[in-house]
Chains A and B, each alone.
Chain A
């Protein structure tokens, strides 16, 4: 048995040595890098409901115009899926321009849609292109319950200054290491929370933790119907840490002209009120994202 245990430990070490090649961010052996052939567009999405919905809108719009589509939805955080777009494993992603810029350039403080998109175009690698931004925005927010807001007299993130040290903040794991997250809250607002708790991506787990009082502040999205349903207060962001967050498709450069035209035709139709309303159908009324997407596209004459 002792010999077995030692062997097991050695195997483990060998395994991680092997994994080393995989973990290398230079990614020398990635064979997923072949862009899809025969014109199929692979639409991907991050692992939260709104992003899945947006991906379904893109996919259905493309299909309506005769583009062949494959869906790979609900994969993971930007940190995971962006790499796949770069390598061609995915060809289209619904993005939020400000959050993407913050991911690519941690120090950039551009705040308006135009500023952000100009900065983004300079930062995107050659393999990735930015298409037209919609008016619709979905911002990360720091959200508290109504009781907490009243108790500490909170209106904006800046008001958290004297009390943050007593509060636990929760959000998706990546919120802790992003500039548009714990890092920026400290840099821009000088906030240091008592602790950070990793939860889900602005979904029911986070909502439940905030309601139960496990956390006192949460990273939720401004379009989330749960804010209204639970009487939560999204704090203002006077220093524009979360900046412009326009829904914007990004594509791998292998994506053809026709598909780009289709995706760009969606932008002028999609505003924040529409997005919030569509989100309500999906997350409150439990309608299928693909159906909600198709219905809406039809109603605006895109399908």
Chain B
């Protein structure tokens, strides 16, 4: 471990962290934005869910590098090339969780809401989605951690935030950047995960003991 090198490059690590986040976070937001309505629709129409489930499992199995390369021709050397495939992965994870969460709403709760005169939209927004929230956030946690790890793969086409430390380290047989890259990636993932757990506590105060 070359400590002087590490101390000398703290600013560089900061830039890479930001770059990493700029590619890891938007897919989570976009994925959520698409997965929520899609999940609601899937929970309502099981046949649609079958189709969506099949599509997302195939997409999820695609190696990320292959998708990045496809995107190169559409979006060139912009971060969209990395963001779009990661959005697809996030979506694949989240749709299932949204549907599972909504299906987990007890029938009695749903009926009481109907009895209280809640319309379909209000019931969805005020009753069903909040109850589904823990399951949705569980999905968000999985997607976020895996996105943070996958962004590094983008380094193989010149992107990749912290992943650049891996390509650089490999190309120069230089251990220090590789170790720093691994540590920072794990720390970033754990911090993001903790933030999501805290968000869940804030949003679902009733579940706190």
Q: Which residues of A contact B (CB under 8 A)?
A: 3-12, 15, 19, 22-24, 27, 29-33, 44, 47-49, 72-76, 80, 84, 87, 89-90, 200, 203-205, 282-283, 286, 288
Contacts and interface: CB of A to CB of B under 8 A. Distances in A.
Interface in B141-190: 155-158, 164, 167-168, 170-174, 176
25 contacts: A3-B50, A3-B54, A4-B50, A8-B57, A8-B58, A11-B58, A15-B62, A19-B70, A22-B73, A22-B74, A27-B73, A29-B73, A30-B74, A32-B76, A44-B158, A49-B171, A72-B77, A74-B155, A74-B171, A75-B158, A84-B77, A200-B170, A203-B171, A283-B172, A283-B173
Contact of A15 (B58, B73, B171): B58
Interface string B43-61: 0000000110111011100
Interface residues of B, number: 34
B54 A22 contact: no
A72 B57 CA distance: 33
Which of B76, B78, B164 counts the most A-chain CB atoms under 10 A from its CB?
B76
A75 B55 contact: no
B75 interface: yes
Contacts of A283: 171-173
Contacts of A27: 73
Interface of B: 2, 5, 9, 50-51, 53-55, 57-59, 62, 70-78, 155-158, 164, 167-168, 170-174, 176
For the complex of A and B, list the 6 residue pairs with the smallest distance between their C-beta atoms, beginning with the closest: A32-B76, A7-B54, A75-B158, A8-B58, A204-B173, A22-B73
B75 A80 contact: no
